[in-house]
């Protein structure tokens, strides 16, 4: 596997990122070097059967003192209750500060396991092994961890950087089409906000990316994953705790998170963010921040992979407004947005801020206008 070591700007955290197929032997070698007393695989009920039991046996056969905790699959289970359940099992196994957590799964698992690692015994190491497109593209690296609460999505959490991430395209081949396709949204988003060349590469190679049986799939995806990582890396190393620049990674997420929660998480994260990007690009075009052509281009690439960009009819604008106003990105009760001025370039506003408040009156008017398209 290829290895890239990433150090944050303040040099307080090093993350080793491995990319390539057949990752289990490299995971075992890496974990042995850490010489921990106990290793804990955290995964969900679905990934446990696909990969978890196999990884558990592999690590045990390799001589590690390891056990596995699983929780019911789905965003609906990313809760305080689930977090406490996993922590209690770790207490029962007498896990100390010399333990290490392996987060095996998608974005929900990565968030949950990372949050447990960030708070258990005031912080123990976590290694991320993403098994979904969205996790391998975005959530496994960067240190954001959180749970959902009744008031909104990802409102309680900590920044806790993984010490390693293993990006294995082979693990994506067991992923169903809906999860795989929707997970590509975060990669597309990275191109939209910061790298036109990467955005164009995705557009040109989308047929290969969508076909896991294509003979060029492995080579194309290896390049995609590494290039995608380096885009996010340039942002995270500069702004670990989202004081300004890192906010650009939230493109599409202000509307998207609200729609996702209001769907009762029937919409996958990527599906909701696709809607969010399209709505926010439309708003930017109406505010004169970006052109109508670029808005349409962003909408069209999302629709080209089969994603719906319309807000579901059963989700009212009023409910979206209410949730956006208590979102963690809101300031003074008004939603903040990241915008692009064109594909590959994020907008910068007063005093160098990359986010901008939009008044509730204008926002509600534009969302209703978008819904009539």
Among 78, 179, 186, 343, the active-site one is 186
Report H helices in the chain: 24-34, 45-47, 53-61, 80-92, 107-119, 133-134, 169-172, 177-194, 196-204, 206-209, 217-236, 253-262, 269-286, 292-304, 317-325, 360-371
Helix (H) or strand (E) holding 18: strand 14-19
Q: For residues 191 and 199, is the Cβ–Cβ distance under 8 A?
A: yes
**Residue 331 falls in the annotated catalytic set:** no
Which entry of 242, 271, 280, 336 is annotated as an active-site residue? Answer: 242
Residue of 36, 48, 51, 144 marked catalytic: 144
Is 232 part of the annotated catalytic residue set?
yes
Catalytic residue among 253, 260, 261, 336: 253
Asked about 334 being catalytic, the answer comes back as no
Task: Kindly name the residue from 35, 122, 213, 313 that is annotated as catalytic.
Answer: 122
Longest dimension (CA), the chain: 61
Euclidean distance between CA atoms 193 and 95, whole angstroms: 41
Q: Are 271 and 308 within 8 A, CB to CB?
A: yes
Residue 242 annotated among the catalytic residues of the structure: yes
Strand 345-346 vs strand 340-342: parallel, antiparallel, or unpaired? antiparallel
Catalytic one of 48, 51, 160, 232: 232
Q: Round to whole Å and give the CA distance between 174 and 308.
A: 24
Q: What are phi and psi of 319, to 5 degrees?
A: -65, -40
Q: Which of these is catalytic: 250, 280, 299, 336?
A: 250
Tell me if 224 sits within 8 A of 202, measured CB to CB.
yes
Q: How far apart are the first and last CA of the chain?
A: 47
The residue annotated as part of the active site, out of 160, 246, 247, 261, is 246
Residue 186: active-site member = yes
* Active-site residue, selected from the candidate residues 153, 257, 261, 299: 257
Catalytic status, residue 246: yes
Known catalytic residues are 122, 144, 186, 232, 242, 246, 250, 253, 257, 269
């Amino acid at each position: 596997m290829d290895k890239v070591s990433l150090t944050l700007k303040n040099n307080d955290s090093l993350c080793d990122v491995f990319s390539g197929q057949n990752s289990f032997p490299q995971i075992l070698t890496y974990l042995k070097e850490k010489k921990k007393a106990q290793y804990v695989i955290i995964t969900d009920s679905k990934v446990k059967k696909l990969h978890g039991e196999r990884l558990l046996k592999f690590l045990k056969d390799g001589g590690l003192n390891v056990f596995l905790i699983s929780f019911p699959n789905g965003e609906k289970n990313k809760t305080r209750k689930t977090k406490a359940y996993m922590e209690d099992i770790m207490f029962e196994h007498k896990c100390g500060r010399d333990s290490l957590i392996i987060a095996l799964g998608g974005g929900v698992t990565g968030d949950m396991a990372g949050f447990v690692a960030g708070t258990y015994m005031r912080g123990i190491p976590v290694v991320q092994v993403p098994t979904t497109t969205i996790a391998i593209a975005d959530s496994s690296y960067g240190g954001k961890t959180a749970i959902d609460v009744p008031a909104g999505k990802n409102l309680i959490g900590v920044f806790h950087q993984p010490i390693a991430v293993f990006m294995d395209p082979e693990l994506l081949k067991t992923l169903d089409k809906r999860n795989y396709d929707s997970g590509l949204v975060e990669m597309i988003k990275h191109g939209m906000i910061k790298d036109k060349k990467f955005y164009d590469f995705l557009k040109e190679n989308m047929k290969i990316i969508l076909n896991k049986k294509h003979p060029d799939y492995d080579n194309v995806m290896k390049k995609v994953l590494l290039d995608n990582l380096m885009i996010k890396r340039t942002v995270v190393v500069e702004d670990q705790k989202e004081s300004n620049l890192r906010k650009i990674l939230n493109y599409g997420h202000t509307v998207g998170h609200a729609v996702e929660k209001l769907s009762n998480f029937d919409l996958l994260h990527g599906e909701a963010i696709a809607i969010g990007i399209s709505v926010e690009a439309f708003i930017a075009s109406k505010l004169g921040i970006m052109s109508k052509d670029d808005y349409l281009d962003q909408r069209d690439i999302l629709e080209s992979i089969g994603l719906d960009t319309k807000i579901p009819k059963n989700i009212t604008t009023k409910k979206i407004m209410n949730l956006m106003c208590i979102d963690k990105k809101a300031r003074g009760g008004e939603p903040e947005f990241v915008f692009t001025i064109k594909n590959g370039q994020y907008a910068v506003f007063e005093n160098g801020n990359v986010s901008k408040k939009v008044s509730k009156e204008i926002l509600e008017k534009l969302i209703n206008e978008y819904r009539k398209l």
